[in-house]
Amino acid sequence: MRRILALALVATGLVGVPATAVAAATPSEVVLDFAGTTPAPAPAVPGARTGGQVTWLQDAPPAHLDPQQIYDIVELSSQLFHRTLTAYLEDPNGGPTRLVGDLATNAGESTDGGRVWTYHLRPGITFENGSPITSRDIAYGIARSFSDQGAFGAHYLQPALDPSGAYTGPYAGSPIPPGISLPDDRTLVFTFAQPHPELPFLVAFPTTTPVPQAADTQADYDRTFLATGPYRRIAEVPGVSLTLGRNPAWNPASDPLRHQYADTVQIEWTVDRATQTQRLLTASGADMAAVMTANVAADQIPVVQGDPALSTRTLAGPTGLAKYININTRRVTDVSVRKALNWAFDRGALLDAQGGPAVGAPLTTVLSPTMPGWLDYDAYASGGHGDVTKAKQLLRGRKPTLTYCYPDTPDDATGAAVVRTGLQRAGFRITPTPLNAADYWGIIGATDSTCDLMYSAWVADFPDGNATLGTLLHGGSLAAGWSVNFSKFDEPCVNTRLDELAAMTDRSAAAPLYGQLDHDVMSRYAPLIPTVSASAYLLHGPGLGGVFLSPTSGRPNLTNSFVR
């Protein structure tokens, strides 16, 4: 599942905001700390103690731990060992999320109508080997993202800094990317040809995690990265687990987000949803301080809901995660077939298989309901379980044979069976095609992918319609050979409209126009099937304190965690 920031937020126009101001917000918005008033070290967590081990349970290994290659929602929980220029400071009590300076002192200083942004680094920031982090290290990390060492990471800064696409990274050119200047070791200046009011959000990606040029092992940096957060890698069983221990060089006085209460954090990568559920239901031994990242198994949700003791250990709530079945428009070129797929799809059955209302709601739009400008519509209204008659009318006796690709996990296999059953009612012949979970996104994102239908999920990168529609549906991204435009959708008129909307400096005015474009694209072209707007319903052990549900990722936030 790709990407991080599905915030239930309202976009704020940043162009022209004085650097001395803190943007006002309602509780559902992100507050941007331009004044640098967020305290460091982070305030102590009431009742927290030091020592012990926190355990994180996950159903598949990450594709990457190299910061410039990180883009998966669970990988982005790597904030325990990677830091960035800005970051999201989340309130465990449900207050506003703040975008604050992390390695930087604030969310940024903007001049020239949002074309120039300046960041000053905090004192006392170091790598795990004790060497100081400089502006050159951050610029070099960004430079890596232009090369193959950033192929799977976020791609927002790169075209903004180098619209020509001529720069290919530090291995064949300068270690400082175009558009970045370094007045001194503690200052970075970003200069763009066009206004970029969204930059404070973009530099929260691991794209801006510093990397010393001398320590860059390129493809091996997944295993040799230098930590900048409170924890560092101390042991790993490849593909199975990662053990984090205290980073002795981390300076809490330089960090407004994180704590270092636990001695170790054990990350287990091969624990399926059912096993995570069973381990947390009983929660003995090390699982007393464990947390799951998959939702409670569907058949156990009523058990948890009916047990007050278990209910107190849940992390539950809506997320910005939207799930889709992407239709490969280069292979399924007939729009009537794509529309028939939408008519035939059984959202109700899929949601029931995933656990019912506790874990989501039917989704009929590309934008998540949490996004500014979301328009509530259903272009293929069928009462929630599909309209087979209308699908068959569009197919006119045809019985298309299509592959359905999905990650090879038990939970996804269950979903695949539901997808197949629902579509076969209309005459589609669906061939389930499980793919290795660690390789999945690389395979389906390839421009020449041979999958006809593909599972995906998306959490918008920042609270703006462009972070969903402009990323998932702009055909310009396909030229790179790999893209999160999994549908391979490339309609010139849609590309032009997306470019027009992205150029609007008033993002509040742009928001409803994205909602209308969402409706138009689905009604005319049907490049994908929206399926479920996901909610989280997770368990943690009774011995784990300080953990809460992240409003940005929909996954557990461990920055305050401790062992009781």
DSSP string spanning 196-230? -TTHHHHTTSGGG----GGG--GGGHHHHPPP-SS
Average pLDDT, the chain: 91
12 has pLDDT over 80: no
The average pLDDT across 306-323 equals: 93
- pLDDT bucket at 488, cuts 50 / 70 / 90: very high
Domain boundaries, the chain: 30-265+540-563, 318-536
Select from 3.40.50.1000, 3.10.105.10, 3.40.1800.10, 3.40.50.2300 the CATH code of 318-536: 3.10.105.10
Closest CA to 527 of 321, 324, 320, 322: 324
Residue 184 has what DSSP assignment? E
CATH architecture of 30-265+540-563: 3-Layer(aba) Sandwich (3.40)
For the whole model, what pTM was predicted?
0.81
Q: What is the pLDDT of residues 452-463, one digit of tens each?
A: 999 999 988 888
Q: How far is Cα 426 from Cα 397, in angstroms, rounded to an integer?
A: 10
Q: What percent of the chain has pLDDT over 90?
A: 82
Q: Give the 3-state secondary structure of residue 304.
A: helix
Strand partners, 120: 187
Rg (CA), the chain: 23
8 has pLDDT over 80: no
Closest CA to 83 of 20, 127, 22: 127
Q: Is residue 236 within 8 Å of 252, Cβ to Cβ?
A: no
pLDDT of residue 9: 26
308 has pLDDT over 50: yes
Q: How far is Cα 143 from Cα 236, in angstroms, rounded to an integer?
A: 28
Q: How far is Cα 64 from Cα 365, in angstroms, rounded to an integer?
A: 30
pLDDT of residue 29: 60
β 528-539/544-545 pair status: unpaired
Q: How far is Cα 116 from Cα 151, in angstroms, rounded to an integer?
A: 26
pLDDT of residue 96: 87
Give the CA distances from residue 547 to residues 101, 183, 247, 284, 540, in Å, rounded to whole numbers and listed in that order.
22, 40, 20, 18, 8
- pLDDT bucket at 113, cuts 50 / 70 / 90: confident
Q: How many CA atoms within 13 Å lie on the side-chain side of 228? A: 29
Q: How far is Cα 263 from Cα 385, in angstroms, rounded to an integer?
A: 49
pLDDT of residue 75: 63
Q: What is the pLDDT of residues 147-175, one digit of tens each?
A: 999 998 988 899 999 999 999 999 999 99
- Amino acid identity for residue 455 in this structure: Y
182 has pLDDT over 70: yes
Q: Is residue 324 within 8 Å of 530, Cβ to Cβ?
A: yes
303 has pLDDT over 90: yes
Find the range with the poorest average confidence among 18-32, 306-320, 365-379, 523-537.
Answer: 18-32
Cβ partners under 8 Å of residue 520, min gap 6: none
pLDDT of residue 551: 83
- pLDDT bucket at 55, cuts 50 / 70 / 90: very high
165: exposed, middle or buried (C-beta count within 10 Å: 0-12, 13-18, 19+)?
A: exposed
